[in-house]
Structure 1
Amino acid sequence: MDAVKLAVVGVVLLLLGGIAIALGVLPAQDALAIADRVWPILLFVVAVTIVAELAAAAGVFDVAAFALARLGRGRTWALWGLVVLLAIAATAFLSLDTTAVLLTPVVVAVARAHRLDPLPFAFATVVLANTASLVLPVSNLTNLLAVERLGFDDPLSFLMLLGPSALVAIVVSTGLLYAVHHRSLAGRYLPAPAPRIENRPLLATAAVVVLLLMPLLVSGLPPWIPAAAAAVVLVAVFAWQSPRTLRVRLVPWQLVVFASGLFLAVGAVEALGSQQLVEAVTGTGGSLASLLQLAGVGMLGANALNNLPAYLALEAAARAPERLAALLVGVNAGPLITPWASLATLLWHQRLHAMGVDVPWRQYVLFGLVAAPLTVVLAVLPLAQR
C-alpha cells in the first residue's frame, strides 16, 4: 500500500465514521473524546517526522552511518552490529518509521560503498524497527496510545513495564538475524570515502537539535511539546539556509488521514458492541496463558490486517497494565510475517525498491514465521513474573 492508497483508505474510513456520527451510532460526544485523545499523538507523529526528514536532508544519518563504518575497522560483523545499535537508538527515540524510512537507505548506501551485501543491513533495520519499538512511548504510535490509556505520567513507568520484554525482543530478533546472515557478515571491507557534506553549519545545527530532542522525549514532558519545538527550530533554520528542502511531502499527511479515519471507525465499531466478542477471543486475567493468548491474537491481527487497527480493536480487552503490555508485544514485535503487517515495513520496501534493492519476500516471510512467534512468546514471559 503506497502513500496515496493509504490516504484513500483514510478518507473512506473518515466518511464511514462521519456516517456513524450522523446516524447516531457513534455519539458526537464520543467522537469529540476520540479527537481529544489522539490530537497530541498525531501532532507528535507529524513533528518528529519533520525533524527526522530534515535531519536526514542535512546528512545527520549519513555521517553517523559512515562513522560506524570507521568504527567497525574493516570487520563486517562489527559494522552490522553497530548498525543494529543505531537502529535500536533511532527506533527508540525517533520512532520505527524513522528507522525504516530514513535509516534504511543510509545503511544500504554504506554497505554498497564498502562493497558489502546490503540485505543483512536492510533486514536489520526493518526487524529492529518493529521489535525495538517496545522501548519507549515515543517508539511507536501504539505505545503512545497505551500510555494515554494507562495514565502514565513519565516514560520511566512505561520502561519499567515493557523494558524487560523489549530487551528480550531485541536480543531474540538480533540473534535470529545473525544466525540467518552470519555467512555474509564473516568477511572484511575496505574504508570508503566519507559522504560529501554541502552545508556543514546546517548539519551541525540538525545534529544538535536531534541530540537535544532525545533526552527531552524521555523527560516527562508530553512528547508533542519538545518534538514540535524541534520541528519549528529546524524549519526556521532550513528556511534560512536551504528553503528548497521545505516541501509539503515533509508532513506525513497520508498517515494522519489514515490514522484519524481508523480511530473514528474503530470507535464506531466499539459503539456497536464489539467488546464482548473481543473479550471472548482474547480471554481475561493476568496468567501466562491469558497473556500469551492476548499477545498471540494481537500478532495474528497485525499480520492479517495491520498493527494499528489490531491494537485499536483489542485495546478495550486489555484493561490491566500487564495485559496492555502483552498486547503491545503482539502488535509491535509480532508484525514480521506479512509485508502489510506494519506500515514501517511497507515504507521500508518502498525505499529499497527506489534504490534498486530486490527484497526476497519469500525469505522475509519464512524468517518471520520463525521470528515472530518465538519473539512474542519469549517477550511475554517477563510480564508473567510481575
Structure 2
Amino acid sequence: MVRESVRRRPRLEPLDWVGLGLFAAGLLALAFGLVPLRDAEGTMHRVVPLLVFLGTVIVLAELTAQAQVFDVVATWLARLGRGRFAVLFALCVVFATLVTAVLNLDTTAVLLTPVMVALATRLGVRALPFAMVTVWLANTASLLLPVSNLTNLLAADRVGLSPVGFAARMALPELASVLATAASLWLFYWRRGSSARYEVPEPHRPPDRRLTAVCAAACLLFVVLVLVGVPLDVAAPVCAVVVLVTFAVRDRSALRWSLVPWRLLVLVTGLFLVMDAIGRLGLSDLLRALLGDSPSSVRVAGVSAVMANLVNNLPAYVAVEAAVPRDALLGVLIGVNVGPIVVPWASVATLLWYERCRAAGVPIAWGRFVLTSAVTATVALVAAVAALAIT
C-alpha cells in the first residue's frame, strides 16, 4: 500500500521546482525585510486579480475540453481547409491572430490551444506544429489593442493614446510581427509534409450535446464580457461557475481538485515578490545605465525582451517602464509582448499554453523549443521595431 501511494504521488517537473523556488525566495525577501510588508501588500493588490483570472480560466478551459467543445471547433476548421495543409495553416494563423488581437493573449493560450491539439488529433497528425501556432501568436500578435495584452493595459495611462490611436500606431508593427512569426512557423514546424493532403473529417457529434452547448455558451459569454469591458478577474469566474454547475448536474465525476492550477499560481506570485526585491537591490539603476538617457527603439525593445525572458513580461514591463521616457513605451511593449517566447516562464500566456499541452499529453522538446523560439523572437522583434519606426 505504501509503495502504491508513492507511485500515485504527482511528480514535480522542472518548472514546478522553479515556481516553488521563486515563491520561497519571495517569502524570504519578506522575512528579511528586502520587501517591506506595505509594498508586498501593494504588489498582491495588483497580482490577486490576475491569479483569480488565471485559476478560473484554466478550470473553464479544462472542463470545456472535457465537454468536447474544442473537438467540434477543430473539426470545423479541418473542414474549411478542404484537405490542404497550406490552407489549414493559413486558417490557424488568422484565427489565432484575431483571437489574440481582439481578446487577449491569455484567452488564445487557454481556449485556442485545446482547439489546435484536438484538430491535430482529428487529422491523425502530430499536435506540436498546431500547438506552436498558439504559443507564438498568443505573444507576437498581442500588439494591436490595449486589451490584447495585460502589459498594454498597464501602459495605457502613461502612453496617452485612445484605443483607436493605439491601434493606429501599432497596426504595422502587429502585421510585421505576425508575418515574421508565420514564416518561422512554416519553416520550423509546418513545411515538412505540407504538400500532403489530409482526409476531411465528418462533423463531430459529442455524446452529451447539452453539456457541450452550455460550455460553448459559457466560452462565448466570456468573449462577450471581455469585449464589453468586464474585468478578466470577473468574467472568468462567472463563466467558470456556469460550467462547474453544469458539470455538477450532468457529470460530477469530472470535478476534482487537480483542476486548480496551483503550480502556475505559485509561480506567478513568486515572480512578483522576487521582482520587488530585485528592484530594491538596484535593478532600476542598472536598467537606466543600460538604456541611457535617449535610448533607441531597438535598444529599448531588445532590453525589454531580454528582461521578459529572464523574469516574465509583466514584472519586466513594470521594471523597464520606470527607466525610460514616455515616448519609448511602445518600444517597451514590443519587447515584452513579442520577445517572451523563448522560455516557458517568460509570459503568463506561455505558462498557460504549457499547462494546456501538459493536460493534453503533448510532449515538448525544450531544446528545440528554445532554439526556434529565440530565432522567431529576434526576427519578429526586428520586424516590429522597423515597422514602428515608419508609423
TM-score scaled to structure 2, two decimals? 0.81
* Aligned counterparts, 1:201-350, within 5 A: 201-285=210-294, 290-304=296-310, 306-320=312-326, 322-338=327-343, 341-342=346-347, 344-345=349-350, 348=353
* Aligned counterparts, 1:1-386, within 5 A: 2=14, 4-20=16-32, 23=33, 25-92=34-101, 96=105, 99-100=108-109, 103-104=112-113, 106-137=115-146, 139-147=148-156, 150=158, 159-160=167-168, 162-180=170-188, 181-285=190-294, 290-304=296-310, 306-320=312-326, 322-338=327-343, 341-342=346-347, 344-345=349-350, 348=353, 359=364, 363-385=368-390
**Distance across 2 between alignment mates of 1:284 and 1:255:** 37
**Distance across 1 between alignment mates of 2:103 and 2:261:** 14
CA contact (8 A) 1:131 1:332 kept: yes
CA contact (8 A) 2:93 2:133 kept: yes
SS of 1:202's partner is helix
CA contact (8 A) 1:80 1:185 kept: no
Q: Which amino acid is the alignment partner of residue 48 of structure 2?
A: W
**Distance across 2 between alignment mates of 1:69 and 1:42:** 34
SS of 1:274's partner is helix
Q: Which amino acid is the alignment partner of residue 16 of structure 1?
A: L
Q: Which amino acid is the alignment partner of residue 301 of structure 2?
A: A
Identity in percent = 43
- The offset of 1:68, in angstroms, is 0.6
- The offset of 1:165, in angstroms, is 2.5
**Distance across 1 between alignment mates of 2:232 and 2:363:** 36
**Distance across 2 between alignment mates of 1:301 and 1:105:** 29
Q: Which moved more, 1:362-371 or 1:67-76?
A: 362-371
SS of 1:190's partner is coil
- The offset of 1:293, in angstroms, is 0.5
Q: Which consecutive residues of structure 1, in runs of 5 or more, have no partner in the other structure?
A: none
- Summarize the Cα distance change of 1:223–1:164 in structure 2 as closer, same or farther, 3 Å threshold: farther
Over residues 143-180 of structure 1, what are the superposed CA-to-partner deviations in whole Å (9 max), with x where a residue is unaligned? 45445x64889866654554442332112211332344
CA contact (8 A) 1:91 1:98 kept: yes
- Summarize the Cα distance change of 1:360–1:281 in structure 2 as closer, same or farther, 3 Å threshold: same
CA contact (8 A) 1:11 1:258 kept: yes
- Summarize the Cα distance change of 1:303–1:32 in structure 2 as closer, same or farther, 3 Å threshold: closer
SS of 2:335's partner is helix
- The offset of 1:204, in angstroms, is 1.0
* Superposed CA RMSD: 3.3
CA contact (8 A) 2:65 2:114 kept: no
How many pairs are equivalent? 378
TM-score scaled to structure 1, two decimals? 0.82
Over residues 111-137 of structure 1, what are the superposed CA-to-partner deviations in whole Å (9 max), with x where a residue is unaligned? 343344544323323322321233455
- The offset of 1:339, in angstroms, is 5.5
- Summarize the Cα distance change of 1:115–1:94 in structure 2 as closer, same or farther, 3 Å threshold: same
Q: Which consecutive residues of structure 2, in runs of 5 or more, have no partner in the other structure?
A: 1-12
CA contact (8 A) 2:75 2:122 kept: no
Q: Which amino acid is the alignment partner of residue 18 of structure 1?
A: L
CA contact (8 A) 1:111 1:117 kept: yes
- Summarize the Cα distance change of 1:185–1:243 in structure 2 as closer, same or farther, 3 Å threshold: same
Q: Which moved more, 1:348-357 or 1:27-36?
A: 348-357
- Summarize the Cα distance change of 1:345–1:257 in structure 2 as closer, same or farther, 3 Å threshold: closer
- The offset of 1:281, in angstroms, is 1.2
**Distance across 2 between alignment mates of 1:206 and 1:354:** 18
**Distance across 2 between alignment mates of 1:368 and 1:167:** 18
Over residues 254-279 of structure 1, what are the superposed CA-to-partner deviations in whole Å (9 max), with x where a residue is unaligned? 22222222222222232344322111
- Summarize the Cα distance change of 1:214–1:105 in structure 2 as closer, same or farther, 3 Å threshold: closer
CA contact (8 A) 1:49 1:252 kept: yes
Q: Which moved more, 1:305-314 or 1:10-19?
A: 305-314
